[in-house]
Structure 1
Amino acid sequence: MREEARTMVATRSTTSRRCLTWWWLACCCFVSWVASSSWTAAACVAVTSLPGFDGPLPFSLETGYVEVNESTGVQLFYYFVQSEKNPDLDPLLLWLTGGPGCSSISGLAHEIGPFQFAAKRYYSGGLPIIIYRPETWTKVSNIIFVDSPVGAGFSYAATEEGSKSSDTNAVKQLLIFLRKWLHDHPRFSLNPLYIGGDSYSGMIVPTLTLAIDESNGSEEKPFFNLKGYIAGNPVTDYKIDEDGRIPFLHGMGLISDELYEHAKETCGEKYSAPSNAQCAHSVQAINDKASRVLLKIWANDETVRESLGVQKGTVGEWKRCNRDIDYNSDVRSTVEYHLTLMRKGYRAIIYSGDHDSRVPSISTQAWIRLLNLSIADDWRPWYVDGQVAGFTRSYASNNLTYATVKGAGHTAAEYKPKECQEMFARWISGTPL
Structure 2
Amino acid sequence: MLHLLLPLLLFFSGVRRSRSAIVESLPGFPGHLPFILETGYVGVGELEEVQLFYYFIESERSPEDDPLLLWLTGGPGCSALSGLLFEIGPLQFDYSNSSENRPVLKLNSYSWTKIAKIIFLDAPVGTGFSYATTWRAYNNSDMSSAAQSYEFLRKWLVAHPKFLTNPLYITGDSYSGVIVPTIVKEIYDGNEAGREPPMNLKGYVLGNPVTCEAKDISQRIPFGHKTALVSDELYESTKKDCNGDYVNVDPTNGACLTDLEMVSRCLEKIFLGQILEPICSVISPNHTRLKWSRSILDETIINIVSMPQQSRPWCRSYNYLYSYIWANDRNVQEALHIREWDRCNESLSYTKDVPNSVVYHRYLSKTSLRALIYSGDHDLAILYVGTLDWIRSLNLTLLGPWSPWFVDGQVAGYSILYAVGIKYNLTYTTIKGGGHTAPEYKPKECFAMVDRWFSYYPL
Whether the 8 Å CA contact 2:100–2:322 is kept in 1: the answer is no
Q: Contact 2:28/2:103 (CA < 8 Å) preserved in 1?
A: yes
Deviation at 1:258, TM superposition (A): 4.1
Q: Which residue number corresponds to residue 328 of structure 2?
A: 300
Match of 2:429 in 1: 403
Distance 1:283 1:156, change over 3 A: farther
Question: 1:408-430: per-residue Cα shift (whole Å, max 9, x none)?
Answer: 00100000001000100100110
Q: Is residue 283 from structure 1 mapped to residue 260 from structure 2 by the alignment?
A: yes
**One of 166, 169, 173 as aligned partner of 1:191:** 166
What's the CA shift for 1:237? Answer: 1.8
Report the secondary structure of 1:343's partner residue. Answer: coil
Unaligned runs of at least 5 residues, structure 2: 1-7, 269-319
Q: Which amino acid aligns with 1:209?
A: V
Q: Is the 8 A contact 1:72 1:161 kept in 2?
A: no
Which whole-Å CA distance do the structure 2 matches of 1:33 and 1:342 have between them? 33
Change (3 A) 1:309 1:73: same
Query: Cα gap change, 1:56/1:389 in structure 2, threshold over 3 Å: closer, same or farther?
Result: same
Shift of the alpha carbon at 1:361? 0.6
Instruction: State how far apart, in whole Å, the 2-side matches of 1:143 and 1:168 are.
Output: 23
Equivalent residue in structure 2 for 1:90, among 60, 66, 78: 66
The answer for the alignment partner of 1:343 in structure 2 is 366
Q: 1:83 to 1:72 in 2, by over 3 A?
A: closer
* Alignment of 1:232 onto 2:258: no
> C-alpha distance in 1, partners of 2:441/2:334?
30
Which range moved further: 415-424 or 392-401?
A: 392-401
Deviation, 1:210, is 0.6
Distance 1:298 1:288 in 2: 36
Aligned residue identity for 2:130: S
**Residues 252-331 of structure 1: pairs in structure 2 closer than 5 A:** 252-276=227-251, 277-278=253-254, 279-287=256-264, 289-291=266-268, 292-310=320-338, 312=339, 315=340, 318-331=341-354
Give the residue type in structure 1 aligned to 2:267: A
Amino acid at match of 1:342: S
* TM-score normalised by the chain length of structure 1: 0.88
Root-mean-square deviation (Å): 1.8
Structure 1 residue 339: Cα displacement: 1.5
Aligned to 1:124: 99
Corresponding letter in the other structure for 1:261: E
User: Residue 419 of structure 1 corresponds to which residue in structure 2?
Assistant: 445
2:88 aligned partner, one-letter code: I
Q: Secondary structure at the match of 1:93?
A: strand
> Counterparts of 1:13-92 in structure 2 under 5 Å?
37-71=13-47, 73-92=49-68
Match of 2:406 in 1: 383
Amino acid at match of 1:197: G
2:455 to 423, 429, 432: 429
Distance across 2 between alignment mates of 1:46 and 1:307: 9
Q: Which residue in 2 is equivalent to 1:176?
A: 151
Greater alpha carbon shift after TM alignment, 36-45 vs 279-288: 279-288
Instruction: Indicate if the aligned counterparts of 2:25 and 2:31 stay in contact, CA closer than 8 A.
Output: yes
The number of residues matched between the two structures is 396
Instruction: In structure 2, give the amino acid aligned to 1:217.
Output: E
Partners in 2 of 1:281 and 1:225 — Cα distance? Answer: 54
Q: Do the aligned residues in 2 keep the contact of 1:39 with 1:180 (CA within 8 Å)?
A: no
Q: Deviations over 1:16-35 (max 9, x none)?
A: xxxxxxxxxxxxxxxx9998
**Change in CA separation of 1:239 and 1:125 when aligned onto 2, cut-off 3 Å:** closer
CA shift for structure 1 position 377? 2.0
Per-residue deviation at 1:285?
A: 4.5
Contact in 2 for aligned 1:98/1:200 (Cα 8 Å): yes
Deviates more, 1:396-405 or 1:299-308: 396-405
In 2, Cα distance between the equivalents of 1:340 and 1:34? 33
Shift of residue 123 of structure 1? 2.7
Aligned-pair distance for 1:134?
1.1
Q: Could you state the TM-score of these two structures normalised by the residue count of structure 2?
A: 0.83
Task: State the distance in 2 between where 1:362 and 1:33 align.
Answer: 47
Q: Deviations over 1:274-331 (max 9, x none)?
A: 1344334543553454242111111111111111111x4xx4xx22111111100110
